């Protein structure tokens, strides 16, 4: 853990590490948008998971690739593939987990740009999932990678990319929780960069109602 007495310098150093990854953040987001992981039916979760796994493994994280076998909608044609990347800290400490999904809703009407093009124009990336939530996944990966390089977190860092959120999460987060991959014993804090307006942070969860 960096010396807390040198906090201003350490803060600047962390920001410099993050700024140095700006191009990587853009490229990661574009690469994800260009995978048409529409759900239903649940296309391309294997390719989405592989992008997470390859990048985080290169950053020194251990990788678990997990198919939600037996989950609702999981099939050999449309397997629900989830990835958890984990890097142990420098000592005992809480685990911080970043969770994002990589499936998107169908395209719909009214697009003026290719919804799977990932075009960068006027400092914005255009495409289905840039906001909900492939951009959040890319930001999580860069954040975890930057913290690992910085050495500023004593406990474990985890990043998960999960399938199936847009149709209930049964083959994604719910399946992982039911099978012990998400648990109170394993993660201490969870950050979910689901879009909620740029100036708002929701602490906790608003709940769910099924009808």
Looking at the annotation, which residues are catalytic? 103, 165
Work out the burial of residue 172: count CB atoms within 10 Å of its CB; fewer than 13 is exposed, 13-18 middle, 19 or more buried: buried
Half-sphere exposure of 194 (CA within 13 A, CB side): 14
Measured distance CA(143)–CA(33) in Å, rounded: 19
Residues 154 and 45 sit within 8 Å (Cβ to Cβ): no
Place of tokens 């600047």: 12
């Amino acid at each position: 853990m960096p010396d807390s007495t040198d906090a201003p310098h350490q803060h600047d150093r962390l920001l410099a590490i993050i700024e140095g990854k700006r191009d990587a953040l853009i490229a990661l987001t574009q690469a994800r948008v260009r995978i048409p992981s529409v759900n239903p039916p649940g296309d391309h979760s294997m390719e989405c998971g592989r992008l997470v796994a390859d990048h985080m493994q290169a950053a020194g994280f251990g990788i678990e690739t997990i198919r939600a076998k037996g989950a609702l909608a999981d099939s050999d044609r449309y397997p629900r593939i989830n990835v958890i990347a984990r890097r142990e800290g420098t000592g005992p400490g809480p685990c911080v987990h970043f969770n994002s999904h990589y499936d998107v809703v169908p395209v719909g009407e009214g697009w003026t740009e290719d919804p799977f093009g990932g075009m960068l124009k006027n400092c914005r990336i255009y495409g289905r999932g840039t906001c909900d939530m492939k951009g959040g996944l890319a930001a999580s990966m860069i954040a975890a990678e930057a913290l690992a390089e910085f050495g500023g977190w004593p406990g474990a860092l985890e990043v998960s990319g999960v399938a199936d959120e847009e149709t209930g999460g049964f083959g994604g987060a719910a399946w992982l929780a039911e099978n012990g991959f998400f648990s109170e014993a394993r993660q201490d804090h969870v950050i979910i960069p689901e879009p909620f307006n740029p100036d708002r942070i929701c602490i906790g969860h608003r709940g769910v109602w099924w009808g």
